[in-house]
Chain A
Amino acid sequence: MTDVSIMATPALANGPLFGLPLEELWFGLVFAVFGTFLFLDGFDFGVGALFATRTTDGEREQLLASIGPFWDGNEVWLVVFGGMLFAVFPSVYATLFSRHYLLMFAILGALIIRGLAPEMYEQRHDEDWQRWWGRAFVVGSIASPFFLGVFVGNWLFGVEGVASIASLLAGLAVIALTIVDGAAFLGLKTRGDVRLETRSLGHLAQVVYLLLAVATLVVGSRSSPHVALFSVPTLGLLGLTVLLAGVHVVAGWAGRYYLAFAAVAGQVYGLVALAATLLFPLIDPATGLTVADAIVSPLSLNIMTIGSSILLPLIATYFIVLYSSFSGPVEEGESYV
């Protein structure tokens, strides 16, 4: 029922824009946005976890300063992911989030602690205060990727209860991946001992990540028939991940930190692409909902498509301006705020 009947352009309501396969494109885009979040906020989490290994004030300040200007923008990718899922697949957004009720709030709680801790850490310079907020930062930075990984595991494997072995393994794998990510980022943002020591930890985490990723898939495929282990895309993406892991380690040794960081980015997007291909054409295995069932009507989808086509390139520009303004290692004396 509507009082005013300014008719929407019929062309927008009749079918997908330009006859594009919008269902598939949006399914891919939602995962790409999640991947961008996981890659970008992932290095914030990783830096937070590696913070635990730094003992001097100066090194800790360096780590905080390295993510200071970036983390807020990085985390907004999660907001955009949530918004897109809500706008384009509302029933998935609703059933997935309400089914994993306590887990969602665990994620939110961990993100609150992680976001708040560095701000608080810098407010006072007495030892007790910084020790506790430093710990909170580490806990939040490890708990956030863990719960996010469990969430994605539950989603992918169609877990009905709180979690399964496979989704717990997925949580651990995502922690390892964010540490790899954080160490690779610190390769770009620090010098000297901090860079070398975190690089070694990153390489260790890389091995752990590969093992956990394979374990997650093997365990998950046993209980979830839609998770096809021996298929071309699965084996192909796994092979690519192993290759990129090798590139990451070798580039790190060679001091080619940009290449190492790019290899990590490839692995993060590879993981998300793997999850997406294993799901498709389903979007929520627990309810058997397919992408085609869950998508909104053409009018809304077309509006979102036009909006996103304009806005996503703009957002890319903002990030380029931001990251290039703060390129290179953290300067001596730069701190968090």
Chain B
Amino acid sequence: MIDPVIASRLQFAVTTIVHIIFPVMSMGLAPFLIYFTWKEIRTGAQVYEQLRTFWTKIFAISFVVGTVTGIVLEFEFGTNFAAFATAAGELFGGPLALEGMMAFMLEATFLGIFVFGRDRVTDRLYMLSSVLVGLGTWLSAVWILVANSWMQTPRGYEVATESGQPIISLVDPIAAYANPRFPWMYVHMQNAAVLSVALFLTGVAAYFVWTNRDTEFWRTTMKVGLAVLLVTAPFQAIHGDAYGRHVADTQPQKFAAMEAQYETDSGVGLKLVAIPTSLSDITDPHADDLFVIEIPFVASLLASGNDPSATITGLSDIDAESPPVAIVFWAFRAMVGLGTWFILLAFWGGYRWYQGTLFDDDLLAKAFMGSSVLGIFTVELGWIVTEVGRQPWVIQGVMKTHAGVSSSLTGSEALATLVGFVGVYTALLVLYWYVVIRLIRTEAPTRQPTPKRETNIPEGVVPSDD
């Protein structure tokens, strides 16, 4: 029978990987919805009413699936990680309780008004509801990341042992909860969510542009999405660079795993592209053996902030178990690679927009379509770097993941729920995307496709049928 520790870890991985899609959608959509609502109320323009109505439907389904998958995560700390919950409940339970009260309640109640109440409440209360729903989604991330950042870089606590079990008690709430890791994670995550949704919006809009069924609705969607992409994509890279420096300082073994740096070295280059030349390079990458295209000294520069010859401590010299290097190394490469692509895509789109040919470049439209869900995929990669890079610890330096698993759990119970979740969550994902795609196909304002444009006829000359 399967080891309950392995089964619990896999189950938590599956349930978080699926769950995070929905908060990304709702947190990312929130600012767009506030903007559409505001424009609708201020200008009375039909296109903004359509935009608000349509994207609210996507928001609502994301929120529902996010709720039901989120309750699962909260309960899993008790069911599968009872030893962790007992030991760390005093520090970890508080933020979860506050998240429920401060954020989730705000979001869930005003969502009722936001989704169902357009004709029932005043413009003012309706506008306020959109802001409070958005605020709720963003506050939710505050508390979840307060809890998570404490697990990455724990402070403000004391460990005692009660009847053979470690009990972690809170001694300094400000040190514990105002954790230096928190602002890094929060900015990186929230910007990633907005960036992911901007990619989704432009990708879907590009589909209607490409099939010549674009209306003012889709053109506005594409412009708004692209404008946001132009800000968020470069910002994510600049911010991520500084975040990396913080990780190098506070979790050296995670940083070394991200770079597959086994030997301590100075003046280390940043491996821009790493090409595996053998199977073992994929499963067991070592910086020194890989065929890489690197920028000399940049990894050292990254880690230190100003010194190109700075020393990076290798995994071999860190007196602790290493995280699974291959997963962290490749997930990090893929994340950075995709992030770079998003910047190029934003600039490409921005240039076409500047030229006035944003809706005429088929290749650009295809690039946007292909990238529509890549933002969400990149968020997953980022979380894999963060969470796998912290292993073998569940609380860095304090408690190992295997020690956090419920002692009463049997292999067969854990396997049963793991198999159940793989089945149910696969079905859930299929249903979610089915509904989203169906909404896009049937509910969004489109027009009959017109014959392909031969040349760029100036707008206004083409008879519009929308």
Chain A interface residues (CB < 8 Å from chain B): 1-8, 13, 68-70, 72-73, 75-76, 78-80, 82-88, 90-91, 93-99, 101-102, 104-105, 108-109, 111-112, 115-116, 119-120, 123-124, 296-297, 299-300, 303-304, 307-308, 311-312, 315, 318-319, 321-322, 325-326, 334, 337
Q: Which of B61, B78, B105 contacts A76 (CB 8 A)?
A: B105
Given A94-B89, A300-B94, A337 contacting B60 (CB threshold 8 A):
yes
Residue of A nearest to B11 (CB): A105
- B287-332 interface with A by 8 A CB criterion: none
Interface string of B153-176 (1 = CB under 8 A from A): 001111100000000011111110
Q: Which of B88, B173, B416, B424 contacts A102 (CB 8 A)?
A: B416
Q: Which of A72, A91, A318 contacts B89 (CB 8 A)?
A: A91
Contact A105 B420 (CB under 8 A): yes
9-residue interface stretch from B107-115, B276-284, B364-372: B107-115
Interface size on B, residues (CB 8 A): 75
- B85-119 interface with A by 8 A CB criterion: 85-86, 88-94, 96-102, 104-106, 108-113, 115-117
CA distance A259 to B156 in the complex (A): 51
Q: Which of B100, B173, B420 contacts A79 (CB 8 A)?
A: B100
CA distance A108 to B111 in the complex (A): 22
- B165-204 interface with A by 8 A CB criterion: 169-175
Residues of chain A within 8 A (CB-CB) of B60 are 119, 337
Given A79-B100, A325-B117, A326-B117, A2 contacting B82 (CB threshold 8 A):
no
Q: Which of A2, A75, A87, A98 contacts B406 (CB 8 A)?
A: A98
B272 in the interface (beta carbon within 8 A): no
9-residue interface stretch from B63-71, B240-248, B335-343, B350-358: B63-71
Residues of chain B within 8 A (CB-CB) of A95 are 82, 86, 408
Contact B435 A94 (CB under 8 A): no
Nearest CB in chain B: distance from A148 CB, A: 12
B334 in the interface (beta carbon within 8 A): no
Contact A299 B170 (CB under 8 A): yes
24 CB-based A-B contacts, threshold 8 Å: A2-B157, A2-B158, A2-B172, A3-B155, A4-B172, A72-B111, A73-B109, A76-B108, A80-B101, A86-B85, A90-B88, A91-B86, A91-B89, A95-B408, A97-B78, A105-B417, A115-B68, A119-B60, A296-B90, A300-B170, A303-B173, A311-B98, A311-B102, A318-B106
Residues of chain A within 8 A (CB-CB) of B108 are 72-73, 75-76
Q: Which of B120, B121, B413 contacts A101 (CB 8 A)?
A: B413
CA distance A318 to B111 in the complex (A): 11
Contact B74 A83 (CB under 8 A): yes
CA distance A84 to B75 in the complex (A): 12
Q: Which of B89, B104, B159, B428 contacts A90 (CB 8 A)?
A: B89
Nearest CB in chain A: distance from B26 CB, A: 12
Residues of chain A within 8 A (CB-CB) of B420 are 105, 109
Residues of chain B within 8 A (CB-CB) of A311 are 98, 101-102, 105
B20 in the interface (beta carbon within 8 A): no
Nearest CB in chain A: distance from B358 CB, A: 32
Contact B175 A6 (CB under 8 A): yes
Known contacts A68-B115, A86-B96, A112-B428; 20 additional CB pairs below 8 A are: A68-B116, A69-B112, A72-B111, A75-B108, A78-B71, A79-B104, A82-B96, A83-B98, A86-B89, A98-B78, A98-B82, A98-B406, A98-B409, A101-B408, A123-B435, A315-B105, A321-B110, A321-B113, A322-B113, A326-B116
Nearest CB in chain A: distance from B435 CB, A: 5
Contact A72 B79 (CB under 8 A): no
Contact B409 A101 (CB under 8 A): yes
Chain B interface, >50% SS class? helix
Nearest CB in chain A: distance from B422 CB, A: 13
CA distance A73 to B112 in the complex (A): 8
Contact B431 A116 (CB under 8 A): yes
Contact A84 B97 (CB under 8 A): yes
Given A300-B90, A337-B115, A326 contacting B120 (CB threshold 8 A):
yes
B219 in the interface (beta carbon within 8 A): no
Residue of B69, B74, B157 ringed by the most chain A CB atoms within 10 A = B74
Q: Which of A84, A108, A120 contacts B435 (CB 8 A)?
A: A120
Residues of chain A within 8 A (CB-CB) of B112 are 68-70, 72-73, 322, 325-326
CA distance A308 to B100 in the complex (A): 11
Residues of chain B within 8 A (CB-CB) of A2 are 155-158, 171-172, 175
Given A98-B408, A102-B413, A321-B113, A116 contacting B68 (CB threshold 8 A):
yes
CA distance A30 to B116 in the complex (A): 31
Contact B117 A69 (CB under 8 A): yes
Residues of chain A within 8 A (CB-CB) of B431 are 116, 120
Contact A76 B104 (CB under 8 A): yes
CA distance A205 to B309 in the complex (A): 77
CA distance A67 to B44 in the complex (A): 30
Contact A4 B104 (CB under 8 A): no
Nearest CB in chain A: distance from B11 CB, A: 10
